[in-house]
Amino acid sequence: MPNHPRSIQMLHDKILIKLSGAAGERTSRGGIVIPATAEVAKRLIWGEVQGIGQHVRSVKIGDSVLFSPDDQFEVEIGGETYLVLRERDLQAVASEAAGSGSGMYL
Asked if 49 contacts 19 with a C-beta cutoff of 8 angstroms, the reply is no
Burial class (CB in 10 A: 0-12, 13-18, 19+), 51: buried
For domain 5-93, the question of CATH label 2.30.33.40 is answered with: yes
Taking the alpha carbons at both ends of the chain, their separation in whole angstroms is 43
The domain locations on the chain are: 5-93
Please list the pLDDT of the chain residue by residue as tens digits (106 residues).
Answer: 566 666 788 899 999 999 876 555 666 677 777 666 655 567 788 999 999 999 999 999 999 999 988 777 888 888 888 999 999 999 999 876 555 554 444 4
